[in-house]
Amino acid sequence: MSEDQFVAFAYDLFGQLLQPPLRVERGANLLYQITVDNRLRVTGDPRRPMRGQSAFQTDLCVFDDVTPDTSLPRVVFEFKKSITTHDVLTYSAKARKHKQIYPYLRYGLVASADATIPRRFFTHNEALDSFLALGGITQGDLVASFGDLLVAEVMASRRLEAMIFGSDTARLFRTAVVFGHESPKPSSSQ
């Protein structure tokens, strides 16, 4: 399956998995900077980002329609057949720039041919929140993997938003490594 076909497949799947007020868009543009002119007016329209005007295009973006005229980007997924070091560096930089505007945004990579996450991801990643390696999994596992990841990332985005802009607080923040089929077993001490 080509990258474009895989994005189309994931778009259709996300459309089935998501319930309003959540929805998915293919090729959505998200701001990477907001500037003010010499009269201190915001340039452009933050509600309608345009590629080439301080906005990057994304493969798939999950939006949360919080009001009829406000759609918050919650989760971005960028798709590749297989991930290179250049991809990790590029998408990590894009994620960092987007998160300067949308600090609650979750950003991930999906590789359709990689069966596991390559070590270069851990070496070069700075701002990506997830990586889903789907090479060799069954259709059922693919649907379950996407479903679980979508739920977790939307919840994380909403919680971050509540802590940044609301009254929610936390005592602990950490990133977590989720193990795949080859999960190590806890060692028993004797």
- Per-residue pLDDT reduced to its tens digit, 125-172: 999 999 999 999 998 999 999 999 999 999 999 999 999 998 899 998
Residue 173 resides in a domain: no
Residue 176 resides in a domain: no
Residue for token pair 């906005």: 55
| Residue 118 DSSP SS3 | coil
Residue 179 resides in a domain: no
Q: Could you give the C-alpha distances from 57 to 27, 52, 89, 145, in angstroms and in order?
A: 6, 9, 17, 24
Q: Residue 84 above 70 pLDDT? A: yes
| Residue 25 DSSP SS3 | strand
What is the amino acid identity at position 48?
A: R
**H or E segment at 157?**
helix 139-165
Q: Residue 107 above 80 pLDDT? A: yes
- Domain with residue 41: its CATH number is 3.40.91
- 145 φ, ψ to 5°? -60, -50
CB 21 within 8 A of CB 71: no
Residue 172 resides in a domain: no
Residue 45 lies in domain? 3-165
Per-residue pLDDT, averaged over 5-16, amounts to 94
Per-residue pLDDT, averaged over 69-96, amounts to 97
Q: In this predicted structure, what is the pLDDT of residue 179? A: 65
Residue 170 resides in a domain: no
Residue 2 confidence class, pLDDT cut points 50, 70, 90: confident
Please count the structural domains in the chain.
Answer: 1
| Residue 90 DSSP SS3 | helix
181 vs 11 pLDDT, higher one: 11
Residue 175 resides in a domain: no
Q: In this predicted structure, what is the pLDDT of residue 184? A: 44
Residue 181 resides in a domain: no
Kindly state the tokens that stand for 150. Answer: 């979508």
| Residue 183 DSSP SS3 | coil
- Per-residue pLDDT reduced to its tens digit, 22-73: 999 999 999 999 999 999 999 888 889 988 889 999 999 999 999 999 999 9
- Window from 1-5, 136-140, 185-189 with minimum mean pLDDT: 185-189
Rounded to 10 degrees, what is the CA torsion of 80, 85, 88, 90?
-100
